[in-house]
Amino acid sequence: MKKIIVFLFLSAIVCTKLIAQDESFQFKFYPSVHFGFFLNPEDVNAYIENDLSSYSTSFGTTDVILNITVGAGIGFRFANTVELQPIIEYSIGPKVISGDIARSYNFNKFAGGLMANYMLPLGSGGRHSILLGGGILYSFITFEDYSGNTINPRAQAGVSFNNNKFNPQILLAIDLAKTNADENEDFELNYNSFRFGVNLNF
C-alpha cells in the first residue's frame, strides 16, 4: 500500500507541473465502478477446486469468473483533448459455494496509478468524444494466504459524454495484472481481466 501511495504522489506532481505550463485545463473528480471478467486465474481456480474436492456442490462452477471494482480519481484535462488521471481502486472477485458445505473466497486487488487519455471530438461542437487511453498501475493482489505485487499496464477505450459539465465516461478496458505469490513462487495470482464500467466526472 505504501508503494501505491508513493506512486500516486509522484503522479500528482507530474500533473501539477503540466498544469503550471498550460492554463487551458479543467479539474474533475470522479468515483468509478467497473465489472470485470477474469481471463484465466488458473491457480486460484485450482485452489478452490482442490479445497472443495471432498464435498459436492449444489450447482454452478468453482471457478472465479467476475470481479467488481470501485475507485476514485482526479482528472486533469487540457483543452478537452488530453486527460491525465491519477487513480486508486479496490477490486474483489468473490466466490460463494453452497452444497455439502457453505464456503466463500475473495480474490482481491488494490491498485493505484496514472492513466492518460486522448479524446477525439464527435462533431464540430466537441461536446462528446471518443476516448482512447492507457496507463500504468501498481497492484497488490491477495487470495487466501497468498499475496503479491506487480506493476501492470491497462488499455481502455470508450465514450466521454458532455465534456464541459457533469461528464460520465463509459469505458471498455483490458487490465493485465498478474504476479507470483510471495509465499510460493509457483502460485500465480492472475488478475488479468476484461472490464466495462463508468467514471462519473464532476
Please give the average pLDDT of every successive group of 10 residues along the chain, which has 202 residues: 57 54 74 97 96 78 94 91 95 88 92 96 83 97 97 97 87 98 97 98 92
How far apart, in whole angstroms, are the C-alpha atoms of residue 94 and residue 97?
Answer: 10
The answer for residues whose C-beta is within 8 angstroms of residue 124's C-beta and 6 or more apart is none
Buried residues in 71-101 as b, exposed as e (16+ CB within 10 A): bebbbbbbebebbbbbbbbebebebebeeee
Domain boundaries, the chain: 2-201
- CATH (one of 2.40.50.100, 2.40.160.20, 3.40.50.12780, 3.30.70.380) for 2-201: 2.40.160.20
Question: Coil, helix or strand for 109?
Answer: strand
How far apart, in whole angstroms, are the C-alpha atoms of residue 191 and residue 24?
Answer: 38
Structure confidence at residue 1 (pLDDT): 59
Structure confidence at residue 94 (pLDDT): 95
Of the candidates 33, 45, 35, 1, which has an alpha carbon nearest to the alpha carbon of residue 190? 45
Structure confidence at residue 79 (pLDDT): 82
Question: Coil, helix or strand for 135?
Answer: strand
Phi/psi for 21 (5° steps) reads -95, -10
Structure confidence at residue 97 (pLDDT): 84
Structure confidence at residue 61 (pLDDT): 83
Structure confidence at residue 157 (pLDDT): 98
The answer for residues whose C-beta is within 8 angstroms of residue 61's C-beta and 6 or more apart is none
Structure confidence at residue 27 (pLDDT): 87
Structure confidence at residue 127 (pLDDT): 83
pTM over 0.75: yes
Structure confidence at residue 53 (pLDDT): 86
